[in-house]
């Protein structure tokens, strides 16, 4: 599943690559739709978990006027500090999914493929403001070294069985 999610998080592939791959490998179109739906369900699950973490970390204490003036010091420094806080507030508002009708995940699925992506991690870094939660997911999933993934003997047996089955059907 990690590889599938990593593929979807590649902005030059997204769900289109999975649909194409499953259409090539599955005999029944209905099976393609089911497999893509499973990946979307897992993506949504991980997205919701990351969203909870972001919302939890974005809780900022509110200062009263006297507290703020004591902390800020001079009026010039105070104005600069307030501007920084306002920029941070705008950034947080953009990240919150409740102020828009569509989640980042839905907007990402609907956006056109970006075929000019050479470095996927760099693309996510550059689009962090647009997709803050998905960019966290991308860093988590795309940073996993495939050589560290545990391969289960049963999974390997399943692939061998599936491979043999397709050879018999041909």
Query: What DSSP assignment string belongs to 25-47?
Result: H-SSHHHHHHHHHHHHHHHHHHH
In this predicted structure, the answer to whether residue 58 has a pLDDT above a threshold of 70 is no
Task: Indicate the SS3 state at residue 65.
Answer: helix
Among the residue ranges 6-15, 47-56, 109-118, 159-168, the one predicted with the least confidence is: 159-168
Q: What pLDDT, on a 0 to 100 scale, did the predictor assign at position 81?
A: 74
**Token couple for 1:** 């599943």
* Alpha carbon distance, N-terminus to C-terminus of the chain: 28
Please report, for the chain, the start and end positions of each structural domain, with discontinuous segments joined by +: 2-58+102-169, 61-95
Give yes or no for residue 74 having a pLDDT over 90: no
φ, ψ dihedrals at 126, nearest 5°: -70, -25
Compute φ and ψ for 32, nearest 5 degrees.
-60, -50
What does the pLDDT look like over 113-139, one tens digit per residue?
888 888 998 999 999 989 999 999 998
Q: With bands split at pLDDT 50, 70 and 90, how would you rate the model's confidence at 67?
A: very low
pLDDT digits (tens, 9 = 90+) for 75-116: 666 667 777 777 776 666 655 544 457 888 999 999 888 888
- Residue 144 phi/psi, 5-degree rounding, is -75, 125
Answer whether 22's CB lies under 8 Å from 35's CB: yes
Which pLDDT value is given to residue 150? 55
CA angle, residues 56, 139, 46, in degrees to nearest 5? 55
């Amino acid at each position: 599943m990690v590889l599938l999610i990593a593929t979807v998080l590649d902005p030059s592939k997204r769900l289109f690559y999975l649909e194409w791959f499953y259409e090539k490998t599955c005999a029944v179109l209905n099976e393609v739709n089911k497999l893509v739906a499973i990946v979307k369900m897992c993506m949504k699950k991980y997205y919701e978990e990351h969203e909870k973490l972001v919302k939890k970390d974005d809780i900022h204490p509110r200062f009263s006027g006297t507290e703020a003036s004591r902390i800020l010091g001079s009026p010039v420094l105070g104005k600069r500090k307030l501007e920084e806080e306002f920029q941070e507030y705008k950034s947080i508002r953009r990240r919150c999914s409740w102020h828009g009708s569509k989640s980042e995940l839905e907007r990402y699925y609907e956006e056109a493929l970006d075929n000019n992506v050479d470095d996927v991690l760099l693309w996510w870094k550059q689009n962090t403001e647009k997709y803050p939660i998905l960019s966290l997911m991308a860093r988590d999933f795309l940073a996993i070294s495939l050589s560290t993934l545990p391969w289960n003997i049963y999974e390997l047996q399943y692939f061998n069985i599936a491979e043999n089955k397709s050879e018999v059907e041909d």
